[in-house]
Amino acid sequence: MVTATRQPSPALATPLSLGSVNRDALRLLGSTHHSEALNRLPGVMIQRGSGQESLTAIRSPVLTGAGSCGAFLFLENSVPIRPTGFCNVNELFEVNTEQANSLEVLRGPGTALYGSSAMHGIVNVLQSTPEQLPAGAVALDVGPSDYVRTRLAGSRTGGDWDHGVAALYTHDGGWRIDSGYEEAKLNATAAGRWGDLPASFMLAATSLDQQTAGFIVGQGAYRSDALSRQNLNPEAYRDATAVRLTGLLQPEAAGAARLELRPYLRTSRMEFLQHFLLGKPLERNGQESAGVMTSLTWDGDPEWMLVTGADLELAESFLFQAQDGPTTDGTPAANAIRPAGKHYDYTVRSYVVAAYAHGERRFGDRWRTTAGVRAEAVGYDYDNRMLAGNTDENGVPCGTGGCLYSRPADRTDAFFNIAPKLGLSFDVSDSVLAYANASVGFRPPEMTELYRLQRTQRVADLDSERLDAIELGVKASWAEFDAALAAFAMDKHDVILRETNGFNVGNGRTSHRGLEYELHWRPLDGIEVTAAGTFARHRYEFTRNVEGGERIVDGNDVDTAPRQLHRAAIGWRPSATWAFETEWLTVGEYWLDAANAHRYGGHELLNLRGRWQPTRNWALTLRLNNALDRDYADRADYAFGTYRYFPGRGRALFAEIAWQRD
């Protein structure tokens, strides 16, 4: 079951490229990072950074930079976890994916129910309701490098209100030098009736205290055990907290209509050392936001269904960047333009107002059409708390060219987007569904792209990025075999990038073509063979000199865009007592730079998992990651004249003992 329109529906009857990782798979997987779960799905590649950091690719290259996270929409129980325009590339660590009931990924532009950032894909983390949680449960995980994780869960049902809680605490000493972290996550939920009104509420809170390890450098450095473990930035750290309170209210509606209101409150804070920049400035950012998502559904007639609604969001966000002392780790010219003191200090008040409609209509015995449209207005009110321009904080210029960091004067910006969707599906038989979709995705510029400028740029005149997408797909389900195949073609316009002069501009263009597959075969009772993967090519469709001395050439592959991603697994459940999984992951080779001059050769990994449940209440699980002890890079890059890597971890064994009371 999946939730493409905020309501559960059979996955194989949903004419979208929508995959999920269910509760049983998550329990056996016991992931230490969300990439381990999400990379099970076709079209998805989450690259793990240091600790709990990550970069995302969904029907896309692995995107980096200020606005890269804006190409993906991250939800918890169908509610965005961050305000529009204020994303962070690592923000998935703010969600309890480890104890979720399921993870869903919608590949490509979302339905009309979602707007900003629903471009390349949507990740929806569905947390457990009180009925889905055990009465009581505790689990202890241990692993190398002083890894210890405790998980708790419990529920109380049967009264006027049902209550549930899931929580975890993790200590990881870090397999690289000075790269440990401590993390805590909590989800508390209540469901019942507020008078005559069915309602549920969920509180989500996370905290991360992390020592951060940066790139290792040198061609093939990840093949050296000594170099892989080193940390060239032992001073780096990241501290982050996030709290979200969301609700689901279902007032009575007239006739066969169903009304849902999803109010929410959110706050987050993050502080980290930008060890990847000369001078290593400190950044602090945060936000408070509130909103409500509404939907009114008519689905009493089997021939048609209509969902309409309006969404409203208000937020206040801030960013502060400062450097303790003078820059000394670059060339004299580079040091001179990076002064000590404050670089940026601003707040942004933002709003989102959106209206949408999504309809489905059956005609004949086998045909169904879907159509939708979303209109969305986004506005920013930017308040600069420093001197405008590219001087230091006291107004002193950095030579004739000015300082690197430039601050616009106070201003307001507004963006308006309309995104249509159209689909057609055909029931080839009771077991086979074919479909075609045409859709548009968009994202307004991120606040950092508009207001965190450089050099002499005073105004970033940017439009929303736009993605035009077409996909053709087929899904089939028989007694022993399930399959899904999807071909996509997407063109992205007004891509925002930083030119060689340091200006943020919005006239880039990329294309994305690919084929995704997912197969599940059950040849015998207790055995399932799974295969999933992607063949794709992501290309630049323009020529331009960009930041860092690189040159984008029309027709080149976008960097960090493997043409192939594959996963194969065999699951064996000989009885209710035992469960085993063998998993093989393949990441194809990819270019490390826009010039397509330097390459990473890709890698293959083998993971083994086994679970023994001798009684109804007790279970023991062993997980052997990278069982063949392969040398590989979680992320490879080429910049500043050298190869750079986030090295992948060698063979690692984790054990879990768990107790549960029904």
Rounded to whole angstroms, how far apart are CA atoms 44 and 61? 10
Residue of 654, 424, 426, 587 lying closest to 61 (CA atoms): 587
Q: pLDDT tens digits, residue range 547-580? A: 877 889 999 999 999 999 999 999 999 999 999 9
| Greater model confidence, 425 or 254 | 425
Return the number of other C-beta atoms located less than 10 Å from residue 142's C-beta: 13
Structure tokens that stand for 324 in this block: 């303790």
Residue of 193, 8, 20, 252 lying closest to 123 (CA atoms): 20
Residue 297: strand pairing partners? 258, 307
pLDDT for 254 equals 75
Rounded to whole angstroms, how far apart are CA atoms 642 and 625? 29
pLDDT for 13 equals 67
pLDDT for 4 equals 64
Distances (CA, A) of 392 to 8, 123, 412, 594: 54, 40, 24, 33
Q: pLDDT tens digits, residue range 100-123? A: 999 999 999 978 999 999 999 999
- 488 membership: H or E segment, kind and range: strand 481-498
Structure tokens that stand for 270 in this block: 């993050």
Is 127 exposed, middle or buried, given 0-12, 13-18 or 19+ CB atoms closer than 10 A?
buried
Is residue 315 within 8 A of residue 299, CB to CB? The reply is: no
pLDDT for 8 equals 63
Q: Is 281 strand, coil or helix?
A: coil
Residue 66 has pLDDT above 90, yes or no: no
Claim: this prediction has a pTM higher than 0.85:
yes
Residue of 473, 475, 445, 472 lying closest to 459 (CA atoms): 445
Residue of 602, 500, 606 lying closest to 551 (CA atoms): 500
Distances (CA, A) of 393 to 347, 390, 421, 504, 563: 17, 9, 48, 22, 46
Average pLDDT on 479-492 reads 96
Residue of 237, 291, 259 lying closest to 83 (CA atoms): 291
pLDDT for 6 equals 65
Strands 642-647 and 216-217, bridge-based pairing: antiparallel
Rounded to whole angstroms, how far apart are CA atoms 250 and 261? 6
Rounded to whole angstroms, how far apart are CA atoms 291 and 353? 10
Residue 511: strand pairing partners? 491, 539
Q: pLDDT tens digits, residue range 226-241? A: 999 999 999 999 999 9
Map out the domains of the chain with their CATH numbers.
11-661 (2.40.170.20)
Residue with tokens 């209550």: 163
Reported confidence tier of residue 640, pLDDT bands at 50, 70, 90:
confident
Distances (CA, A) of 274 to 340, 406, 550, 600, 605: 14, 17, 22, 25, 31
pLDDT for 5 equals 64
In single-letter form, the type of residue at position 162 comes to D
Q: Is 576 strand, coil or helix?
A: coil
Cβ partners under 8 Å of residue 78, min gap 6: 3, 6, 124, 262, 293
Count Cα atoms within 13 angstroms, Cβ side, for 76.
Answer: 33
Average pLDDT on 180-201 reads 94
Residue-level length of the chain: 662
